[in-house]
A and B are shown apart, each in its own frame.
Chain A
């Protein structure tokens, strides 16, 4: 049975477009064909700047006029002013009037002494991980992450109550922070905000862009755009869908229905592709497809809460109807009971939300997993962030992990948006920044999750070849700093950015 998971994103987006058409009219998305894609992502363009403006040397002009003043003053002739001023420092700095459409400040900051080949590009190799290159890549990654080199010591100084140090870092960060600069400048800005908030509860940040505060159309536009430029969610969604289809394919004939428990952050974006794929099965879609969405409006997890009036259910159902799929959607609160029926294949899709349950004494996370187990799902897709986790109450260590996560988001998003300072980008980043203030422990790490799953009675299941191929093929459409790494006999799919783990997908039974 062939699963058509390798559909190009353009079809996916057309689907979604179609789905949206009822309610909103979107501006046409840029041409997005398969083969053109790789060519489109030609990064060399974005890294050049205007060399012409370096012709004049302000230093010489000044001295020239000074020497003229001196003539008058001293009354002697200053003939051969062989002033070879090493017009100093970053000579290739174009004056701020660089006429490029994109944000100039970023260009200026990307100067590297006439060297158009910015050092960090050399780190961008598509080499598959060799341990030593991994380590050195991480080092060179770390070297380019200067914002954290100020933010982390500041956090440490705060915990050490070293006020002169704190003040120093805050002063420096304030000078460098910029909400429209490159990823480092943005991280500096967000991080500084978070630190100030930590220091003083009365501090109110100027404006916080979040999903919840966004206008519905903007929100939809943003999600669409984001899926187009970054696999951050697109890939986990893709793998989850593949997994669902994989599980379904192993089911017996008497299971006519599909019931998905959606504990995720896709806001409906995940399902059109799945519905299409269900349609394309030789035996057609299940008789009934149910999606139970677990909603938690109080959560402070980034990406989990959309605008209050955002309701995609009816659109999704309409779309399904156009495919002749009988779709039902229900939204429940996290504490409500979930009902299952014997005719249905019940699959849990938990993406990026379980971690919010704190590892407190009562161990809510384990409890939740046990509760899921008791529902006897046919399969559980678990996608989570993957970092060096260890729950600690140390503010500085915790903050450092969160910065690490946020950096990966900002950096990869910056590449995705080709450094455009668009509204969509700002909304995504604003929402991501919530992680800095959130109480949850973001990066628990794969090992701990695996242990918890096993403890709850689940066992790991391998992704099929189609799922893996589909994921890899999807990833090729995005920046080549993204990588997918299969481990543990294909039960673990890790998503990496610049060689560092971002998130993982896993399948359980």
Chain B
């Protein structure tokens, strides 16, 4: 086995946490059950990795096999990447042929290889007619860098593709072109939506987030479906604003629904508006140029946090539509200009 390939195997297997080693190797499905049983999984990790690399060498594993292992690892650790969303479109009235996965893969590979002599492309099919693509970029004169790949998850029955954000941005237009042509679309456009949570991005873009899993019983009184606020059992505590609290609960439920929110880590608003002030005069009031300002909301779970704001008394209900439109519009990057 080539030295660089062996090194790539070693580094990829080393990345895998010990607790997940068996699961990931089984999902990779390259080493058979029997072969895996010959390895001692209780030894120190470095020795285990050496044994596994030897096994791969014996089985004549190729660079592509290593790339597939890398894809499997990334599928298990998708939160380690930040994902962008692209939407493709066709000309109106165009005939859509039946999608052929093999033809897509061939076409995609051909386009990239024609443009860049050195590039490693690997595919792994996934459920829901999706395909995971791993691309390691090289150039005319340099071999592909296997340690900075880009991943693309394309749902073939939809115009959407998700790509992992990469620092090597110069190749993104080429990637977009290859995707568009291979999937028989005309245009590709980057959506203003980004998150670590690929499944949440999927839910937003495919509008799958608003499904309740429990039966919706509309006769259940409102206070039993409260957002985690305990029903006060102590009769010595009296809530004066019970009616207002119920209104806030109702408005919040209407806006956010009963289902768990898709997970996003931030929302960013870029303001380019002129400064408006109630006070007459003032230094900023006379300016003609727009005031440039960036507001970023961060949270481990932004939409659930927004949902909890009004019931917690931190904000008035209803919340600003700029905040509540995020899943509907499929955006978490906004540019706000004067009309």
> Are A and B interaction partners?
no
